[in-house]
Amino acid sequence: MALTDEQLERYARHLILRGVGVKGQKRLMSAGVLIIGAGGLGSPVALYLAAAGVGRIGIVDDDVVDLSNLQRQIIHTTADLGVPKAQSAAAAIRAINPDVEVEAICEHVDVDNIASLIESYDLVIDATDNFAAKFLINDACVLAGRPYVHAGVVGFSGQVMTVVPGEGPCYRCIFRDMPAAGEIPTCSQAGVLGAVVGVIGSLEAVEAEKLIVGVGEPLVGRLLTVDALTMTIRRVPLPTRVPDCPICGEHPTITTLDPQRYVQPACAVASH
């Protein structure tokens, strides 16, 4: 396909960028990305992928915009209060780039729908804020052979890693079991600096664009950690293979998506 005059102008900085160019831009325009979560992480991911010209973006979220979201969820505005987040995000994407085909999915992601949600997309973005969803996304993507980008944020810190099934470790290789409820504080419990979420979400967008274009070194087998308080950024090497991983190891025990597997265990109460 030939780029139109408007596209040549819109994507001019990509077209002159070594490693992207016309070929890379066409790959972006032909790609489909599913973003699970339209909150703090999903906001910069959706905005940057739309601006980059990703041809089809699906955005999944069953929540509505709340006033407390606006401190960090920059894809939404005060005028969107009470609007389903997936619809608000889709409207913002269309406003940035009308060429992008957007699918707003106002659903809760669970074992019943995740396989059908990811099957028509090339790449998945984990922009969720709870462990149950993160383990579910990992397992569904590994079973489907679908690459995805993971991120997590709390307080002043965040992390990013990319999972390409068959080419490197998955989330369960590194974080084997889901922590008990309350064991690790969430953003709603510990707070989060809004700009840190923007940084981590933007890094997810960078990883997605690199994977689509086929340029650079994605964070496969590496965990990037960011401590914004000290501005310390580390790239932690991960094991190449984890033979006893329950889903991608030599003898996997997870072969289907069992709903009970994605219920966060209760935290044991200590006696005094």
Render pLDDT for 33-48 as a digit per residue (tens, 0 to 9). Answer: 999 999 999 999 999 9
The arithmetic mean of pLDDT across residues 207-224, rounded, is: 98
DSSP state of 80: G
Establish whether 261 is an annotated binding residue. no
Instruction: Report yes or no: 67 and 83 within 8 Å, Cβ to Cβ.
Output: no
Under 8 Å CB-to-CB from 33, ≥6 apart: which residues? 49, 54, 56, 57, 58, 121, 122, 123, 124, 125, 208, 212
**Which residues lie closer than 8 Å to 168 by C-beta, 6 or more apart?**
162, 220, 221, 238, 240
Contact 246, 257 (CB under 8 A): no
Whole-structure pTM value: 0.95
Which pLDDT score, from 0 to 100, does residue 143 have? 98
From CA 164, how far away is CA 222, in angstroms rounded?
Answer: 12
177 labelled ligand-binding: no
The answer to the question of whether 23 is labelled as a binding residue is no
Question: Which residue in 163, 139, 143, 169 sits closest to 151, CA to CA?
Answer: 163
Whole-angstrom Cα distance, residue 196 to residue 112? 33
pLDDT in tens, 164-175: 999 999 999 999
**Which domains, ranges and CATH numbers included, belong to the chain?**
31-262 (3.40.50.720)
pLDDT of residue 264: 82
Per the DSSP assignment, residues forming a β-bridge with 269 are none
CA distance readout (Å), 193 to 15, 36, 69, 156, 196: 34, 21, 12, 6, 6
- The whole-number pLDDT of residue 182 equals 73
Closest C-alpha among 240, 204, 232 to residue 124: 204
pLDDT digit string, tens, across residues 226-251: 999 999 999 999 998 899 999 999 99
8 Å CB contact between 28 and 55: yes
Residue 61 annotated as binding site:
yes
Query: For residue 18, what are its two tokens?
Result: 């070594």
pLDDT for residue 185 is more than 90: no
Mean pLDDT of 118-123: 97
Residues 6+ apart with CB under 8 A from 203: 151, 160, 224, 226
Write phi, then psi, for 123 (nearest 5 degrees): -150, 145
Instruction: Give the active site residues.
Output: 187
| Residue 109 confidence (pLDDT) | 97
Phi/psi at 183 (5° precision): -70, -40
248 is an annotated ligand-binding site residue: yes
Which residues fall within 8 angstroms of residue 183, CB to CB, at 6 or more apart?
267
